[in-house]
Structures are given as C-alpha cells and as structure tokens.
Amino acid sequence: MPAQIVTVELRERSYPIYIGRDLLADPALLNRCIPGRDLLLVSNTIVAPLYASHVVAALGARRPVEVVLPDGEAQKSLSVVARVIDVLVANRFGRDACVLALGGGVIGDLAGFAAATYQRGIAFVQIPTTLLAQVDSSVGGKTGVNHTGGKNLIGAFHQPSAVIADTRTLESLAPRELRAGLAEVIKYGLICDPEFFAWLEGNLEALLAGDPAALAHAIRRSCEIKAGIVRRDEREQGERAHLNLGHTFGHAIESATGYTGWLHGEAVGAGLMMAADMSQRCGWLRDADVQRVRRLLERAGLPLRAAEVTPAVARDFMSIDKKAMNRRLRLVLLRDIGRACVTADFPPSALEATLSAHFGEHR
C-alpha cells in the first residue's frame, strides 16, 4: 500500500507527514525527504540497533554521523543537547546540515531542539518510531527539554522538513508504550472529533492487537487533526492549547515522580480522566459521557489516578504550567465529547475535588 500523506500547511514551511508500512525500506522516499549533504542521526540504544541501519543504507554516500544516546526521559536535558551540539561543531557542520531524529518523542524533542538552536536553526527530519511520536510529538514543531522545575520548560518552535512515520516500527514497541500512545489518540477524539472518539470505542481491541489498518487509520486521523490545529495556530495563541487536554494534570504527575515510573502517555491518560471529571464537576460534561471516557481509558489499560502524588504536590507543579496567565491557572476542559475549551473560569472547589479524587492514597 502506498504511503498516505498528510500535509502540515504553513506556507513556505509546509511539510509532509508520510504514514505507511516499510517506509524505512524506501530509499527514494528517504532521499527525497532528507535535505543536505551533512547529516546527523540522533537515536538511542534501543532504537538505533533496530532501525538506524535501514536509514543509513537508504542514504548511501550521504552517510550520517551518528549520536546514540542512552534511553529515557532523563535524556531530555540541556546537558544532552549540549552533547549533540558538540558533535555538530566537532564535525564542522554548517547551516545546510540536517538532523535526523530516529526514535520516540524523547529523541524527537531533544534532537529537534538541538536543530532549532544550532547556528540559529538547521533543518531536521522526524522519523518517529513510537505510536505517541507518530500521532503527536513529531508533528507541529514543538521541540525542547525538561528542567528539574518542570516538564518541557525549555524549548523552541521549529518545524521539521518532513515526518516519516513507518508503522512497521510499531511492531517492536512494548505493549505498554502502545497503550501510552493511545492516550494521545483518544485525546484527539475528545478535543474535536466525536465521530473519531466513537470509532475508537469500536476499534480499540484492533488497535491494542496492533492491527495495521486500524493503526494506520488512527495515526492518519490524529495527524490530520493536529495538522489542522497547527495550521490555524502554530504558536499556541489559542486553539493549539486544546492539544494540552489532560497535560496540566499529566505533567504534574511526571514532574512529581521525577520522570520515572509513569510514561508520558500514561500521565496524559490519567490527566484526560481528571479533565473529564473536573468538567463534570463544573456542570459541563454529562455523567454518561464521563463514564464513556473512563471506560475507554480503562479498556486501553491506562492508569487513572496517581496514588503516589499528594494533591498539594500536584497543585504546586500545576502552578508552573505554561498556559498560566497573570499567574492564574488555565485548564483545558471539556464542554462535551469533541468540544474542548481553555479556561481560567472554573470553581476552585471543582479543581480541589478532582485533585482529591485522583491524587494521593484513597482515604
């Protein structure tokens, strides 16, 4: 089956997202998508042994310099970006060089940030290999790293030149990682596409079983939704914040647990549940719809509460959220399934009740 193409329309910075099976075995596609003579391939110790040789073989004489990092969210730090930049400098790469990010969202965010900052910005191509990266992090140009004070606090908007999502790579992904990626897929249905949410309810088992057609549909629809939002609001002045549904709660879980224990997608899944719960407490979402959200997340095998984080600690981390304005917390909540809103206008008691119900030990 030929690759499906979704375009992120951003005038002169528009780029294609290729979605398909065995794209890494297509040298013509890779060579078409990857600009530049000097190439730096950034990957990690899990992904590089599986897939770097495909990319290197396809590029022939344009043999990339490789940086293979340890695995894990802890790599998303300024010191690791400095290491990557050291390699670019050591190889005397110029402004026409290109960075290839081969891996999940950690590699994409980190390598993208190195590309965004080296010589004030060089080209990069995303080659995402997790479901989460194929549906979300590789698209839209948010790059960056964590600070001990909070998640993704350092970063830049820098769009890739292309995204190459080879769905075959998902076959080596751990089931837990696939489930974490599904949280971001469910997010798209919740924020703006009730039909897609219903499709997910009907096709969740196929997705969990790794059915290629179901996965291709979920990835394509997710990328179409994200591409549309990024086209309308690249720099997150408004609508793009909807993509953060569940993330203020989720980032608090990740930060409070030191980026260990919880996967990003798992924290987002719990955050989606909290956003739905709070939306109901605000009087916006019907009980039956909250139960639909709960059932889908449970069927996806996602954890729905963070017993190890107290509500006070969660509140503290939430206060540093990037959506805050005039130091006032703004949250993405739901008016309905398929209709998100960003608001600071919620009863504080609703937030407190949601935090008490989902953080800390059950009393």
Active site (annotated) includes residue 322: no
Instruction: For residue 339, give Cα distances in angstroms to 70, 239, 279, 327, 347.
Output: 39, 11, 11, 25, 19
Active site (annotated) includes residue 184: yes
Active site (annotated) includes residue 361: no
Active site (annotated) includes residue 226: yes
Tokens 């509460």 locate to 305
Active site (annotated) includes residue 236: yes
Q: In what order do the strands lie in the sheet with 98-103?
A: 4-8, 15-20, 162-166, 123-128, 98-103, 39-44, 65-69
Instruction: Report in angstroms how near the CB of residue 129 gets to ligand NAD at its nearest.
Output: 4
- Measured in residues, the chain has a length of 363
| Partner interacting with residue 14 (select from ligand GLY, ligand NAD, none; CB below 5-8 Å by kind) | none
Tell me if 240 contacts ligand GLY by CB under 6 A: yes
Active site (annotated) includes residue 120: yes
Instruction: Report in angstroms how near the CB of residue 2 gets to ligand NAD at its nearest.
Output: 22
- Give Cβ neighbours of residue 109 (< 8 Å, ≥ 6 apart): 76, 137, 142, 143, 144, 145, 152, 155
Query: Of the candidates 109, 136, 177, 193, which one interacts with ligand GLY according to CB under 6 A?
Result: 136
Distance CA 80, CA 69 (A): 9
Residue 242, CB-side half-sphere exposure with 13 Å CA sphere: 25
What would you measure as the largest C-alpha separation in the chain, in angstroms? 63
Catalytically annotated residue among 151, 187, 221, 251: 251
Instruction: Indicate the residue whose CB is closest to ligand NAD.
Output: 105
Binding region for ligand NAD (CB under 6 A): 44, 46-47, 50, 71, 73, 76, 103-107, 109, 129-130, 132-133, 136-137, 140, 142, 152, 169, 172-173, 177, 180, 264-265
Question: Would you say 129 or 280 has its CB closer to ligand GLY?
Answer: 129
Distance CA 321, CA 328 (A): 10
- Contacts to ligand GLY by CB under 6 A: 136, 140, 142, 240, 243-244
Active centre residues (catalytic) = 120, 142, 184, 226, 236, 240, 244, 247, 251, 264
